[in-house]
Amino acid sequence: MDAWSILEVMDVMALFTVRAAAGRMGIGYSTLKQWIFQGKIRTTKTAGGHHRLSEAEIDRLLARQTPSAQIQSKAARKPTGLIVALSGRNRLRGFVEEVRIDGLLGQVRLRIGDQTLTAVITSDALDELKLHRGDDALAIIKSTEVMIAREVDASDVPAKRRRARR
């Protein structure tokens, strides 16, 4: 593998410092360092001996967290900015996983825990927000209608549903 190939792979594979990864995951720096020393986490070492975590490894760890651990990590996260006034009450905190701009519109994909939220906004709004991959962001949902659904296994659904008479 030549030097250009290595640079291309490194460009595609985002690496995070231990402190940045700990912040992304909502856990303490020292906790993450202990996990690294215990061999629970795969890291890459720099020439200077510093550990770096790949985005894929962070995603793997976030997906493995139990719901109670996710609740604790969300409680540990403190807001970094101040919104003076906003009527939307449904705010979801996450980080930018992808930003795409095509003409007048742009697409932002936020990672919120182990869920992904995609929003289509104007490219002017994206320029104004200066959003980049890895940035922390808020999704604020304002809607007049909310739909709730419940999933069941396909094997639990009878072949023909009978209509209840009133």
Instruction: Judge contact between 121 and 109, C-beta under 8 A.
Output: no
pLDDT, average across residues 75-98: 71
Give Cα 31 distance to the centre of its chain: 20
Compute the mean pLDDT over every residue in the chain, rounded to the nearest whole number.
77
Parallel, antiparallel, or unpaired for β 90-102 and 115-122? unpaired
Residues 6+ apart with CB under 8 A from 57: 41, 42, 43
Among 107-111, 140-144, 150-154, 157-161, the range with the most confident prediction by mean pLDDT is 107-111
CA proximity to 73, closest of 57, 54, 95: 95
Collapsing DSSP to helix, strand or coil, 149 comes out as coil
Q: How far apart are CA 108 and CA 99, in angstroms?
A: 5
| Choice among 11-15, 18-22, 135-139, 160-164 with the minimum mean pLDDT | 160-164
The domains of the chain, with CATH numbers, are 3-76 (1.10.1660.10), 90-141 (2.40.50.100)
Q: Which helix (H) or strand (E) holds 59?
A: helix 55-64
Per-residue pLDDT tens digits for 25-67: 888 888 889 889 988 888 888 888 999 998 888 888 877 765 5
How far apart (Å, rounded) are the C-alpha atoms in residues 43 and 81? Answer: 30
Q: What is the mean pLDDT of residues 143-154?
A: 70
Distance between CA 96 and CA 114 in Å, rounded? 13
Residue 76 has pLDDT above 90, yes or no: no
CB atoms within 10 A of CB 158: 6
pLDDT band at 16; cut points 50, 70, 90 = confident
State yes or no: pLDDT of 131 exceeds 70: yes
pTM > 0.85:
no
Cβ-proximal residues to 135 (8 Å cutoff; 6+ apart), any chain:
95, 96
Q: What is the pLDDT of residue 54?
A: 86
